[in-house]
Chain A
């Protein structure tokens, strides 16, 4: 049940694109399609942004996209906006436990 590996922080200017990586193993991220991403503003409930590696829930802007290659999943945010500044977590479900990434703080410069 080791945490997935995410960069501690990323940053970008409004309008730019950023990508957050999430690295696991063949036993979690690499082996299953149950990869999801959450946005978390301090003091609020986390919000689902991506599920099933690349599916976007209704209401989530299409600026948010997900992908996976091997044992690494990625969240890309294009056209950065000030309100995107938050913590982002990836999540994988290998079947008998759930594992999160350590979280990435996105700063919009």
Chain B
């Protein structure tokens, strides 16, 4: 059974940093692209970042996070990461990881990030 489990969310002050993790199981993690998608309170889904399968040499970012967030993967640990720096109040959201094959076929349950002083 394919499972994706996010962790690392929490409360952080504006300007601070946080690293999210997404532990994958039930499939050959290294063979798939994976993405981060977020949902701010009362808002819709927003794509954040994507990383290709294999070595992850292709990464993509939404304009809203470019230069502040870094996506990476460790296939030996079946884990996806999102390093978030210079956090802003508008980054407050539930962050989901999702497997991508030109569409999202599996999603995690999400982890909440709150940016507030």
Could you tell me how many residues of chain A have their Cβ less than 8 Å away from some Cβ of chain B? 26
Contact A38 B109 (CB under 8 A): no
How many positions in chain B have a CB within 8 Å of any CB in the partner chain? Answer: 20
Within B17-50, which residues are at the interface with A (CB < 8 Å)?
35, 37, 44-47, 50
Chain B residues, Cβ within 8 Å of A1: 62-63
Q: How far is the CA of A64 from the CA of B105 in the complex (A)?
A: 16
Closest to A87 in B: B44
Question: A34 — nearest CB in chain B belongs to which residue?
Answer: B102
| Residue of chain B at shortest CB distance from A37 | B103
Task: List which A51-65 residues lie within 8 A (CB) of chain B.
Answer: 51-52, 57
Which of A52, A96, A99, A101 touches B103 (beta carbons < 8 Å)?
A52
Residues of A contacting B108 in the complex (Cβ-Cβ under 8 angstroms): 45
Docked CA distance A66–B47 (Å): 22
Is A51's CB under 8 angstroms from B62's CB? no
How many angstroms between the C-alpha atoms of A85 and B56 in the bound complex?
Answer: 37
Q: Chain B residues with Cβ under 8 A from A12's Cβ? A: none
| Interfacial residues, chain B to chain A (CB-CB below 8 A) | 35, 37, 44-47, 50, 60, 62-63, 96, 98, 102-105, 107-110
The 5 closest A-B pairs by CB, nearest first: A103-B44, A36-B103, A98-B47, A45-B107, A51-B103
Given A48-B104, A51-B102, 11 other A-B residues pairs in contact with their CB atoms under 8 A: A1-B62, A45-B96, A46-B98, A47-B107, A89-B45, A91-B104, A97-B60, A98-B37, A98-B50, A100-B45, A101-B44
